[in-house]
Structure 1
Amino acid sequence: MSDMDTKKYSEKRRIGNIGEDIVAMFLVKQGYRILDRNYLKKWGEIDLILEIDNLIRFVEVKTQVTRENKAKDVSRNVSRDCFTVSDFQMLVSRETLDDDIYRPEDNVHYWKQKRLIRAIETYLMERNIDENKEWQIDVVTVKIDFPNKTAIIKHIENVVFDV
C-alpha cells in the first residue's frame, strides 16, 4: 500500500470510527445495551452488537461525509479538530428516499452481506448464544457535517439479505 493509499485508508477509518461512535451513543440513548463493538474475524466484521427488549441487533454502520465537506480536506478536519461524539447534534432521518445519488447503505453489497452473516454465525457460536435467541440485522447510516457538527442518522431495521 502506498503512502497515499495509507493516508486515504486511515482517513476513511477515522471517519468510520466517528460514525460508529455517534451511532453507538444514539442507540444507547434509545435504550439499547452494547454487547460488543468491532467484532472482527478474518472473514468479516460486525460494527456494533446491541440488545434491546431481549432481541440482539447486529448493526452495520455506514458513514458518509456531507457533500459540502467533500470539497474540503476532511482529514485535516478530523485530525486537527478532535471531534468527540458529544460534539455532534444528532438528527434522525425517517425518510427512505434520498436525493443523493450515492447512499451509504448501498455499500452493503452482496459480498459484504455474506461476510456479515458468517461473522454473525461465528459470534453466536463463540458466545454460546441459544439458537432460539431472536436476532436481526440493522443498517444505520450516518451523514456527518463536520463544520456544523451535525449528524443525520437513518436506522434501517431488520434488513433481510438474499444470501
Structure 2
Amino acid sequence: MTTLNTNQCGRIGEEIARNFLTQKRYLIKKQNFRKQWGEIDLVAFDKTTQETVFVEVKTVNQKSQANILPEEQLTPAKIQKLKKVILSYLAEVKLENKPWRLDLIAIELTDSQPIIRHYTNIYVNFT
C-alpha cells in the first residue's frame, strides 16, 4: 500500500465499507450526507433488523499510521456532531419515529487485504 493522504485514505475506506455492507445485505441509501456542522459517511438500511443505520467510517493506512487504531479517531466531539447530522437526516426524510442506530466501521489498510471491524449500535439513540 502506497502512502495516501487523509482524503484518499478516507475515500478508499468509505468504498471498502460500502462494499462490505452491501455484501452483508444492507441497502445503501446515501453516501456523504452533509450539513454545515458535519457529515454522515453512509446511511444504510439493515434488512434483517429493519433499522436505518448511520455508519461512521474510520480508516488508517498502516504505512503512515502504524501505531493508530481507526477506532481511536472517533471522539466524543465527533459523536456530538454526528448526532446533530443524524437528527437532521431523520427529520428531512420523515423517519423520526422509526428505529435507527449508529455503527462504526474501522478499517486498516495494509499491503494485502484491509482489516475491517464492524461495531454495531455504538451509541444507542444518544440517550
Please give the range of the TM-score, normalised by the shorter of the 2 chains. Answer: 0.7 to 0.9
| Residues in 2 aligned to 1:17 and 1:101: alpha-carbon distance in whole angstroms | 21
Match for residue 105 of structure 2?
A: 140
- The answer to whether structure 1 residue 160 and structure 2 residue 123 are counterparts is yes
When you count strand as a share of all residues, which structure comes out higher?
Answer: 2
Structure 1 equivalent of residue 85 of structure 2: 119
% identical aligned pairs:
33
Question: Residue by residue, what CA displacement relative to the aligned partner does 1:71-116 show, whole Å, maximum 9, x if unpaired?
Answer: 9xxxxxxxxxxxxxxxxxxxxxxxxxxxx85321121111101100
Please say which structure displays the higher CA radius of gyration: 1
Q: Structure 2-normalised TM-score? A: 0.87
Work out the CA distance in 1 between the residues paired with 2:105 and 2:14: 9
Alignment partner, residue 6 of structure 2: 12
Cα root mean square deviation, aligned? 2.0
Residues 37-83 of structure 1: CA deviation (Å, up to 9, x unaligned): 000111110000000122111000000111xx229xxxxxxxxxxxx
Q: Which amino acid aligns with 1:160?
A: Y
SS in structure 1 at match of 2:114: strand
TM-superposed CA distance for 1:141, in Å, is 0.4
Q: Give the number of aligned pairs.
A: 121
Aligned to 1:106: 72
Q: Per residue, is there more helix in 1 or in 2? A: 1
Structure with larger RCO (C-alpha < 8 A, sep 6+): 1
Deviations 1:104-158 (A, max 9, x none): 11211111011000000000111112x221000000001111x32x111000110
1:28 pairs, out of 17, 22, 26, with 22
Using structure 1 for the length normalisation, give the TM-score.
0.69
- Once residues 108 and 67 of structure 2 are traced to their aligned partners in structure 1, the CA distance between those partners, rounded to angstroms, is 14
Runs of at least 4 residues off by over 2 Å: none
Task: Give the equivalent residue in structure 1 for 2:53.
Answer: 57
**Stretches of structure 2 lacking an aligned partner (at least 5 in a row):** none
Query: CA–CA distance in 1 between the matches of 2:64 and 2:37?
Result: 31
